[in-house]
Structure 1
Amino acid sequence: MATFKHLFSPFKIGALELRNRVFMSPHGMVGLGIGTDAQVGYFEARAKGGCGFMVIASCQVVPAPQVPPGWFIEAYNRDHIPAIRRIVDAVHGHDSKIVVQGVWMQADPATGQASGMAPHTVLSDSQPRSMTVAEIQALVEAHIVAARHAEEAGADGFEFPIGGGAGLQSFTSSLYNHRTDEYGGNLDNRMRMVMEIIDGIRTRCKPDFVLGLAVNADDTTLGGEGLSEGLAICKLLSDSGKVDWLRITARGQKPQMTHFHYPSSYLGEQGTHVYAAAEVKKVVNIPVVSGGRILDAVHGDKLIDEGKVDMIFVARSVIADPEWPNKSRNGQNSEIRACIGDLEGCFLRSCIGHPVGCTVNPEIGNEHLPPLEPAGRIKRVVIAGGGPAGMQAALVAAQRGHSVTLLEKSGVLGGHVTLQAKLPGLEDRSDIIRWLQLQLGKHAVKIRLDTEATPELIAKLEAEAVVIATGANYARNGVSKSQLAPVLGTDLAHVLTPEDLLLGNARTGKRVVVYDNTSYEVGPGIAEMLADQGKEVIFVTADSGLAMSVTEIGINKVISKRLLPKVTFIPQTVIAAIDPADVTLVHAYTGVATVLENVDNTILVTSKPPNESLYHALVASSSCKGIDVHLIGDAREARWSTFATDEAIKDGRRVGLIL
């Protein structure tokens, strides 16, 4: 059991006495409703789980007409004070402290920005006019009013951002601010509005009401001066004596640099913002909070011990497992359901207007509900398929008291997750399979590997309910969303699928074509893996770029940076035919044909038809009449790009609850 020197010890920020140094950074749980039981339950679960300091994210300081209504708390609106109060009271009930984050979202087309000389970079491709001084002063007042409402609701303090793409960065950064009046020019002028907000809050809120700022301390990614300017901003704030903490991020500017703002598993490091925080620590005399994909509490404790930060912030670690702090403190690391860093169930869902959740945690939004109720009648349940959908279904069914047997055709559990976890950058995905397998063992689920589910075996097991979670496999004929006709020559022995390569250990020659029309991460991952083995890899796709399904979350940028130096990239192209030596390509728009000669292997990453045969066999089987049959996950509707694991686990939970 790890010994923590700092992370789980009391700490003080301003007048606040905190029980530990775990800071739940603001993240918008879109879709839970404003002040609903679901929203309150979300925060309460994480306070109960051990977070010492928390933030209610993205509370609007002014109306934001371009943001869908009901997404975020309106801190400017007195009618939303009761919603804030409900969250605050629930969090305080577990000895945690909580503040409101007030954000100017720049989402009102009737209002300008700092300077019309700079393109808008947050919500839309536009370039608003410059604000008038009267509008600036009204926005200052709006922040102060939002803070007053937070105080009235019982919150312990207020935080507002000047980084990460939030609106006020358009004033503080020289990249955006080209004003020539008292709100532009030198740093003091560019910070004038921020200091007016701080002064107003200090004048009109109680002395023990804490105040912090989130600062993007390094803006080099869009051409800024970088740390030199960020450090000057932080020093100015600290020297004012009116700010209680600084939360430091770096390089993160949405949407252009989202991959730094929300680091995925591809970045392969913990504490991606800490390098900047460590420099900030040298020039300020107030607590510094930072993080960036902190998965390991021991690592967080080490960062504090090394003097790089005073507190660590976490978001996805406690989204995935609300008990992450308590389990870490108590040495229960194997029980932690870890974030796998795919960003799909959390940030990507919010980008497309869906309720935010978590790929590995299907309980998001249900934390306020009572524990699972025992089944009304105990059944013998057979789960056919040991991928994420089948494992989650087995777990929930067993938790409710059913007698559960899980049959897996192969020798390993995990399905498509086990396949993906063999690829560079995706190794973290294996953890959800580890965690589920651990839980299945604790709930006495009988697991039979190397066992194919058949109607005869299911009848022999006297199943009363069957869950078919047989998943999907990559197509062997090259059919894709871009090419419905089979590709000629895909029946040749040197043409492989991802399953052949990653699960069947098929060997490849020196010159390999990876044909990917799924727009996801598996094709690029295979290409990178083979290139790292010294193979000559040609990557062919009908798309215009790599991993286009994850552009919203910036992972395509990381993949492109990793892969393009290692392979030959041929976009906007389909394969017309494969023969024993050559591959014929056709450009999707010009129709021009070219031939790749002397190709040793072609790997098809094109689509994933469901493995549905067992379902149809059971429906037609006379020996299985009367059995309650459920079809879930990829066997019901296969997903070859985003949300495959997310939907599979949610589907498993859903069916486990109705058995």
Structure 2
Amino acid sequence: MTAVVPPAATVPVTTVPAATVPVTTVPAATVPADLRTVGSPWTLGPLHLPNRVVMGSMHTGLEVLDDGGVAMAAFYRERAAGGAACIITGGIAVSDEARGGPDFAVFGVGGADERFRTAVDAVHDAGGTVLAQLFHAGRYALVGGLQDRHGRPQRAVAPSALPWAAARGVVPEELTADEVRRTVEDFAAAARTAAAIGFDGVEIMASEGYLVNQFQSPLTNLRDDEWGGTPEKRRRFAVEVVRAVRTAVPDLAVTIRLSGADLMPGSSSDADVDALVLELLPLGLDAISVGIGWHESRTPTIQAAVPHGAWIEQAARIADVVRASDHPHVRVIASNRMTDLRDAEAVLADRRIDAVALARPFLADAQLVERSLAGRPDLVNTCIGCNQACLDRSVVGAPVSCLVNPRAARELQFPLRPSSEPKRVDVVGGGPAGLAAAVDAARRGHDVRLWEASDVLGGQFGLAAVIPGKEDYAGPVQAARAELAERGATVHLGRAATVDDLTGSDAVVLASGVVPREVALPGADLSHVLTYEQALREGVPEGSVAVIGGGGIGVDTAAFLTESSDEAVRAVEFAARWDVPVSTELVGDLPQRQPTVHRTVRPGHMVTVLRRNGKFGQGVGLTSRWVALGRLRDAGVRMVGDVQEYLRIEPGALWIRDGSGTEVAVPADVVVLCAGQEARDDLVAGLRSADVPFAVVGGARDARAVDAVRATSEALEAVRALAP
């Protein structure tokens, strides 16, 4: 008998040679006409760059791995080889007290310099350039249990002794005037170290509410000395940091990342930010990268619900300030809520902005630039803005990866190189887990056969793509379909695999997913009762709707019922709701963002979401859940928790026993069942009897929670164990 391979089994780490780069099928080609601007060369100070796409800073956790920097090197090498013109590292703390948490590196501590030298060499070997982001968390430092290099408890410091909500009760110490000056020198010293290591330049982190940003804001700088008390004095810290860094590294590229808007009531105004820009320009900056918001802001900034390119207006405003100044050639880099190079081209076409910084899209696809500039955008694996494996993990200090690319930040563990023993690999299920397994096996030269019972690929992603704000979920499905075709895989649609189909296989990944759980409730068989799959695939008739189940699927279903499918409409609503100038330049421009389901949008008060226990939106990512629930509350959706019992369904009503024990009729011309899922694992017994090597992954293995991050990661691990 062949044992079932545990899907979460640890795959042995394989050392990848420095010269190994991802396999690619994309031929060299001239830059497509529709990407002419983004594909054009430019200069960033002393750097001559081949295109206008910068890989923005991302904290991955690789920065502190005790492996000599080889994992970080593999991560950066793939992205440099994949066409990123310039890479910005994750934040490197300029001192012990500058760390944001235990997974932040500090130059000169614990082998950090050697690790970064390995990574820099890897980027250069791949033909790329890399800047070190100089970072100080300020009051955002999570210092519980942390010690400095001398074994003393780490301090949290700030312009003023003001904590923030996530600080777990830690009140930062106010920096003395001498300590402020020492901190300025810390930035300069870190820049000199970066130069000695071999970095091509440095970026000063002065955005998103970290220390430099804290000094600028009247919310967090209450000082009345030379470093605060007036807007000019609050700006002084940023000015002195830039001056010191520029002096420290006169031959390197120097950039700064500024918040175009803090999105914090009472914080720096646009005029304050613009005044800071004018003070910084004469100091020798090569570029200003424009970020948005603070981590504690209650305005969504990078979640999937935020319209594409929403924050371009802030970058354009700063670009106008620069162009009208005495230093008009300082570069301006835009960022946030752009997913691919077509977005970038739309932003850059009028030449007001010089380049774009994409971060999470490089997690989703290391070859984003190479594939796009070769005329193959259909192969680009799209960032879906879910945050689940990247930002959500980063904020709790967990290793970062990517839902749609589970190899991200694990390139060393899962190198991309042709298999020495190609095998027949069968993948059952064309959802996100099945596609992840099939694409990975096909990239390494295996004979891949994908079986999908429905007539379309996508599974749960296909359902998600019809949810307003989640249209990008269609992108990874489109990319996987294109790549499987490119690599000669066989895809069976509308064909449920049988054990006989799989008997000759060398390896089977069973990623057949889930089916909606049946509800034993009187009236559940009535014609106006729909599963969530029926509702999302076919639409929901007019009238009031009761949604049974308030987890992630229930919340998505309520959004489907109440929000416009027109992204332009949602962009206008977003701007009004949050009182911000939102660009509609990139809204609705890609085919994959167009909804395919005809549906009736109804007022929120006509929708009731019900839940027995637990949190509404449970299963939605940490940094996205509050946004999803806020949208429903704004729409007027009723959310009824602590339901003791669902009693019966009748025409026009769902009867429940509420938290007080009272029988209540909830208006319901339609009832949608979002009460969980059951595993679709009917092939397991047959495969075991047939002695076929197989693994069960994702929802087919455990349907208690629909967790796409777990599913795609399990799929990658399983296919590597079965077909190395």
State if a TM-score over 0.5 links the two structures.
yes
**8 Å contact from structure 2 (residues 562, 603) kept in 1:** no
1:5-43 CA-partner distances (Å, limit 9, x unpaired): 432323223333333321111111224626521111111
Does the CA contact (< 8 Å) of 1:476 and 1:491 recur in 2?
Answer: no
The verdict on how the C-alpha distance between 1:544 and 1:455 changes in structure 2, with shifts beyond 3 A counting, is: closer
Q: How does 1:340-351 map to 2 (within 5 A)?
A: 340-351=384-395
Cα 1:233/1:124, change in 2 over 3 Å: farther
Distance across 1 between alignment mates of 2:347 and 2:539: 43
The residue correspondences of 1:418-433 to structure 2 (distance < 5 A) are 418-433=462-477
Q: Give me the whole-angstrom Cα distance separating, in 1, the residues matched to 2:448 and 2:48.
A: 48
- Assess, with a 3 A threshold, how the Cα gap between structure 1 residues 350 and 316 changes in structure 2: closer, same or farther: same
Tell me by how many angstroms 1:53 deviates: 1.9
Match of 1:565? 635
Render the CA deviation track for 1:280-326: whole Å, top value 9, x for unaligned: 12222321111212223244234233243111111122221112122
Within a 5 Å distance, the mapping from 1:372-521 to structure 2 comes to 372-374=417-419, 376=421, 378-379=423-424, 381-459=425-503, 462-477=504-519, 490-503=524-537, 505=538, 507-519=540-552, 521=555
Q: Does 1:80 align with 2:103?
A: no
Q: Letter of the aligned partner of 1:27 in structure 2? A: M
Number of the residue aligned with 2:607: 537
* Matching of residues 80-159 of structure 1 within 5 Å: 80-106=112-138, 107=141, 108=143, 110-116=155-161, 118-120=162-164, 123-124=167-168, 126-159=170-203
2:407 matches 1:363: yes
After TM superposition, the runs of 4+ consecutive aligned structure 1 residues lying more than 6 A away are none
Write the distance in 2 (CA, Å) between the matches of 1:377 and 1:545: 46
| Corresponding residue number in structure 2 for 1:259 | 300
Give the distance between the partners of 1:308 and 1:543, measured in 2 at CA: 52
- Give 1:500's aligned amino acid: Q
Classify the secondary structure of the residue corresponding to 1:341.
Answer: coil
Match of 1:609 among 637, 656, 678: 678
Aligned residue for 1:42?
A: 75
Aligned-partner SS, 2:92: strand
Q: C-alpha distance in 2, partners of 1:465/1:13? A: 49
Q: Is 1:269 the equivalent of 2:308?
A: yes
Structure 1 residues 396 and 15: alpha-carbon distance in aligned structure 2, compared to 1, 3 A threshold: closer
Task: Identify the residue that residue 282 of structure 1 maps to in structure 2.
Answer: 320
Q: What is the distance in 2 between the residues matched to 1:13 and 1:554?
A: 35
CA–CA separation in structure 2 for the residues paired with 1:314 and 1:29: 15
What is the TM-score normalised by the length of structure 1? 0.88
* Deviation per residue, 1:357-405 (Å, 9 max, x gap): 11111222343565334263634x4433222222333333444554443
1:575 and 1:166 map into 2 onto residues whose CA distance is 48
Question: AA paired with 1:140?
Answer: V
CA distance in 1 between counterparts of 2:493 and 2:269 reads 54
Q: What does residue 310 of structure 1 align with?
A: 354
Bigger relative contact order, structure 1 or 2, given CA contacts below 8 A and separation 6+? 2
Deviation string, structure 1 residues 520-557 (Cα, Å, up to 9, x no partner): 55343344357715682122235686535446324532
Deviations for 1:233-259, whole angstroms, at most 9, x for unmatched residues?
Answer: 111111x33322211123x11033473
CA shift, 1:217, in A, is 2.3
- Once residues 237 and 313 of structure 1 are traced to their aligned partners in structure 2, the CA distance between those partners, rounded to angstroms, is 20
| Distance of 2:373 and 2:336 partners within structure 1 | 20
RMSD: 2.8
Compared CA separation, residues 378 and 599, structure 1 to 2 (3 A) = closer
Return the match for 2:655 from 561, 584, 590: 584
TM-aligned CA deviation for residue 101 of structure 1: 0.8
The separation in 2 between residues aligned to 1:174 and 1:543, in whole angstroms, is 42
The one-letter code of the counterpart of 1:517 is G
How many Å separate the matches in 2 of 1:61 and 1:487?
61
Aligned counterpart in structure 1 of residue 89 of structure 2, from 56, 68, 84: 56
The answer to whether the 8 Å contact 2:550/2:609 transfers is no
Aligned with residue 267 of structure 2, among 218, 224, 249: 224
Greater CA drift, 51-60 or 224-233: 224-233
- Partners of 1:45 and 1:171 in 2: how far apart? 37
Q: Distance in 1 between matches of 2:429 and 2:256?
A: 49
1:494-517: per-residue Cα shift (whole Å, max 9, x none)?
3322122223x2653511101233
Offset of residue 470 of structure 1: 1.5
- Tell me the equivalent position of 2:49: 18
1:257-286 Cα shifts (integer Å, max 9, x gaps): 4731xx13322312x332111111222232
Q: Counterpart in 1 of 2:40?
A: 9
- 3-state SS of the aligned residue for 2:394? helix
Instruction: Deviation per CA, 1:400-429: give whole Å up to 9, x if none.
Output: 554443332222222111111122111111
Q: Distance in 2 between matches of 1:265 and 1:147?
A: 35
CA contact (8 A) 1:476 1:496 kept: no
Name the CA shift for 1:66/1:277 in 2 (closer, same or farther; >3 Å).
Answer: closer
Distance 1:519 1:353 in 2: 24
2:693 to 621, 628, 648: 628
Cα 1:243–1:562 shift into 2, 3 Å: farther
Does the Cα contact within 8 Å between 1:467 and 1:630 map onto a contact in 2?
yes
Give, in whole Å, the separation in 1 of the partners of 2:252 and 2:500: 68
Tell me the alpha carbon deviations over residues 215-240 of structure 1, each in whole angstroms, 9 at most, x when there is no partner: 112124333243121111111111x3
Deviates more, 1:443-452 or 1:284-293: 443-452
SS at 1:178 equivalent? coil
Identity of aligned residues (%): 25
Q: Tell me the equivalent position of 2:17.
A: none
Which residue does the alignment assign to 2:376? Answer: 332
Distance 2:539 2:235 in 1: 60
Question: Any idea what SS the aligned residue of 2:267 has?
Answer: coil
Q: Residue 551 of structure 1 contacts residue 557 of structure 1 at CA under 8 Å; is this kept in 2? A: no
Residue type matched to 2:82 in 1? G
- Name the aligned partner's letter for residue 105 of structure 2: I
Match of 1:212 in 2: 255
What SS does the aligned partner of 1:155 have?
Answer: coil
Q: Flag the 1:594–1:306 CA change in 2: closer, same or farther, 3 A.
A: farther
Q: Distance in 2 between matches of 1:288 and 1:476?
A: 55
Worse-superposed segment, 35-44 or 464-473: 464-473
Structure 1 residues 18 and 558: alpha-carbon distance in aligned structure 2, compared to 1, 3 A threshold:
same
Question: What residue in structure 1 maps to residue 147 of structure 2?
Answer: none
Q: Which amino acid is the alignment partner of residue 296 of structure 2?
A: P
Is there any run of 5+ residues in structure 2 with no aligned partner, and where? 1-31, 144-153, 564-598
> Given residue 48 of structure 2, which amino acid in structure 1 is its aligned partner?
E
Name structure 1 gaps, 5 residues minimum: 478-485
For 1:131 and 1:551, the matched residues in 2 are separated by 35
Q: Secondary structure at the match of 1:313?
A: strand
What residue number does 1:248 align with? 290
- Contact 2:562 / 2:635 at 8 angstroms: preserved in 1? no
Task: Report the secondary structure of 1:365's partner residue.
Answer: coil
Comparing 102-111 and 165-174, the one that deviates more: 102-111
TM-score, normalised on structure 2?
A: 0.80
Aligned equivalents of 1:306, 1:224: Cα separation in 2: 31
CA contact (8 A) 1:497 1:605 kept: yes
Partner of 1:480: none
Distance 1:206 1:405 in 2: 54
Change (3 A) 1:199 1:226: closer
